[in-house]
Structure 1
Amino acid sequence: MSLPTEIKIEKPSKERTGTPLLEINNLKQYYPIKKGIFSKTVGHVKAVDGLSLQIYPGETLGLVGESGCGKSTTGRAIVQLEKPSEGEIIFDGKNISNFTNREMRSIRTELQIIFQDPYSSLNPRKRIGDLLSEPLLFHKLATPSEAKKKVEDMLEIVGLPKSYRNRYPHEFSGGQRQRIGIARALILNPKLIVCDEPVSALDVSIQAQVLNLLKDLQNEFNLTYLFIGHGLGAVKYISDRIAVMYLGNIVEIAKTEEMFKNPKHPYTLALLNAYPVPNPHLRGRQRIVLEGDVPSPANPPKGCKFHTRCPIAQSKCREEVPVLTGVHHSVACHFPIN
């Protein structure tokens, strides 16, 4: 497969149709805070606090927010690397929230993840061919000879020579290792792939190549992505819809074009202000500059969690929790921006 070296300009939008492939309802992920010699639980870190969203077949949903807002925790909970404290995760019509490890084995082939740091997720003692063939052999989807052939084909699909199957992870660059991570996620032919900041550690030129590769693979294999990131340029390019996350909750969700043209939540507008726009005519656009740090998820503010940093907060924001409302463009704010 030939890979483009530059980011494409046009990106056709996809309409949401049918039943969601993934539906998350009131997801919570709490971590206990223990103190004392008896390890008494004195509180909880609320990494994800009542998150709900849907992802439809064939689309890419971008999940953005500052570091520590719970994006990666959400991704890990979706693929059941961590068991959620509360809530439902419905994948392809099955509630997998409370699946046992044995029950999850039948789902693993359809639900995969690409990690932010591919080097830490690749066993340095194994050759690439062994790393990629291992899931095929574990799930008994191929014989050793068939697995070898599929590994070679998959390496070529992600833009690497098939001879690389005999190399070790330390012999590759960061971009090549990320291609290997993509190949490993793709080799089981999944329906949904959670991309946990897959390009944040790469050079800009390599980011473009990996993003284009992900888009080409999506079109070729009819994949669905949850793309987690904090770089709005990459998220804007690859996503059909964007969900903005703050301190464990979704505060706004809309189509990508609508989100960038008409942000309604002050936090979304602040994130967009930090994104450089190469247009001198937009110098006088409305701007919101955030002040202060993100509050601790162990002791989040009452009412709207963003009111401690919001320049337009009013007394109602300090008392009542806003509800995510809207059909095509949803926002959780008492006083959304016009």
Structure 2
Amino acid sequence: MNSPLLKVENVKKYYPIKRGILSKTVAHVKAVDEVSFQIYPGETLGLVGESGCGKSTLGRSIIQLESISQGNILFNDVNLAKISKSELRKIRNQIQIIFQDPYSSLNPRKRVRDILIEPLIVHENLSRPEMEKKIHDLIQIVGLSKHQLNKYPHEFSGGQRQRIGIARALILNPKFIVCDEPVSALDVSIQAQILNLLKDLQKEFGLTYLFIAHGLGAVKYMSDKIAVMYLGKIVEFGKTNDIFQKTKHPYTKALLDAYPPPNPHLRNKERIVLEGDVPNPANPPAGCRFHTRCPLAQKLCREVEPKLAGNEHTVACHFPYN
């Protein structure tokens, strides 16, 4: 069996809360709290959860746009959290990110040609004609024309801007890409086009994805495995079919119930409706973090924090669904 391309081991990302004249740290926002998983080459892991659960923070931390507070991030057995900036720069061409907002992630003062050539100037030793050929080929692969390379980002639609963002992520031939909610800012009709493009590019270039989203339809379509995240922790992890057909955690069940089933005859079945907001990550509830919103919570849930348990399909719940 292949070795994992990426290993995330007990990763924590805490943000200090400072107060007073001396900016004394009085508490921490626990955005990511002891998260572990593995992703194998050519695989897509879907990371799903409500807004504020720590998904994007984890994605940015994995590619070292943000430093982690504790833990290890092993990419091809190289610990990205421990290496120097110069060593990280050598690996940067292998790990890339597609951002959620295609407009704010592109420099509005640069033409598309300059946006795509900049990474090649920094990381590759190519002549100008070689760079031009590479961006011409790539811009057509993502569904745009080479005649559009002289335009600025504001001259494109949202879907076209996201295609530019995808081209920028691909320009250095990476092995691993974090897709940080890449379709959530797009119209529904455009979302399908971008998702199909990502699937096609994965097959063509042998890419490995961490696909972050809160829409379960996109996650189901894209992912081989799914990790469900709540308040900084993974509460359920397994193959996509197992997550959808053999749901174990009440939070996962609530997320699935919020996703309209394609069969209208199944829409009247009993559903879990989440009430209230996600608790404050600076002061998470004792015991199970989900117990304040869980319809199945018992005394044990309020006192003892459950740990992920199981084989291929793991769940952190004292009273999981069978």
After TM superposition, the score normalised by the length of structure 1 is: 0.93
Q: Structure 2 residue aligned with 1:87, among 36, 59, 71?
A: 71
Q: Which residue of 2 aligns with 1:279?
A: 263
Residue 81 of structure 1 aligns with an amino acid whose one-letter code is L
8 Å Cα contact 2:260/2:267 also seen in 1? no
Q: Structure 1 residue aligned with 2:130, among 146, 166, 169?
A: 146
- Distance in structure 2 (CA, Å) of the matches to 1:77 and 1:152: 32
Residue 98 of structure 1 aligns with an amino acid whose one-letter code is K
Q: Which residue of 2 aligns with 1:208?
A: 192
The offset of 1:103, in angstroms, is 1.1
Q: Which residue of 1 aligns with 2:233?
A: 249
Q: Which residue of 2 aligns with 1:135?
A: 119
Q: Which residue of 2 aligns with 1:168?
A: 152
Q: Which runs of 5+ in 1 are unaligned?
A: 1-16
1:19 aligned onto 2:9: no
The offset of 1:280, in angstroms, is 3.4
User: Counterparts in 2 of 1:186-201, with a 5 A limit?
Assistant: 186-201=170-185
Q: Which residue of 2 aligns with 1:337?
A: 321
| SS in structure 2 at match of 1:137 | helix
**Cα deviation code 1:278-311 (max 9, x no counterpart):** 2134245442211111100000011110011111
1:119 aligned onto 2:111: no
Residue 20 of structure 1 aligns with an amino acid whose one-letter code is P
| SS in structure 1 at match of 2:182 | coil
| SS in structure 2 at match of 1:245 | strand
Residue 55 of structure 1 aligns with an amino acid whose one-letter code is I
- Distance in structure 2 (CA, Å) of the matches to 1:124 and 1:321: 47
Q: Which residue of 1 aligns with 2:273?
A: 289
Q: Which residue of 1 aligns with 2:90?
A: 106
Q: Which residue of 1 aligns with 2:285?
A: 301
1:325 aligned onto 2:298: no
Q: Which residue of 1 aligns with 2:57?
A: 73
Q: Which residue of 1 aligns with 2:218?
A: 234
| SS in structure 2 at match of 1:151 | helix
Q: Which residue of 1 aligns with 2:13?
A: 29
CA RMSD of aligned residues (A): 1.0
The offset of 1:22, in angstroms, is 0.5
Q: Which runs of 5+ in 2 are unaligned?
A: none
- Distance in structure 2 (CA, Å) of the matches to 1:175 and 1:292: 34
- Distance in structure 1 (CA, Å) of the matches to 2:15 and 2:132: 41
Q: How much identity, in percent, do the aligned residues show?
A: 70
- Distance in structure 2 (CA, Å) of the matches to 1:33 and 1:201: 30
| SS in structure 2 at match of 1:25 | strand
| SS in structure 1 at match of 2:18 | strand
| SS in structure 1 at match of 2:60 | helix
8 Å Cα contact 2:307/2:316 also seen in 1? yes
| SS in structure 1 at match of 2:104 | helix
- Distance in structure 1 (CA, Å) of the matches to 2:124 and 2:93: 11
**Cα deviation code 1:181-233 (max 9, x no counterpart):** 00000010000000000000001110000000000000000000000000111
The offset of 1:98, in angstroms, is 2.1
Q: Which residue of 2 aligns with 1:159?
A: 143
8 Å Cα contact 1:137/1:143 also seen in 2? no
| SS in structure 1 at match of 2:21 | coil
| SS in structure 2 at match of 1:48 | strand
Q: 1:273 to 1:149 in 2, by over 3 A?
A: same
| SS in structure 1 at match of 2:74 | strand
- Distance in structure 2 (CA, Å) of the matches to 1:167 and 1:286: 52
- Distance in structure 1 (CA, Å) of the matches to 2:8 and 2:106: 29
After TM superposition, the score normalised by the length of structure 2 is: 0.98
Residue 52 of structure 2 aligns with an amino acid whose one-letter code is G
| SS in structure 1 at match of 2:189 | helix
8 Å Cα contact 1:137/1:144 also seen in 2? no
Residue 52 of structure 1 aligns with an amino acid whose one-letter code is S
1:42 aligned onto 2:26: yes
Residue 71 of structure 1 aligns with an amino acid whose one-letter code is K
Q: Which residue of 2 aligns with 1:224?
A: 208
Moved over 3 A (4+): 283-286
8 Å Cα contact 2:177/2:207 also seen in 1? yes
**Cα deviation code 1:155-202 (max 9, x no counterpart):** 000000011111111111100000000000001000000000000000
Say how many residue pairs are matched. 322
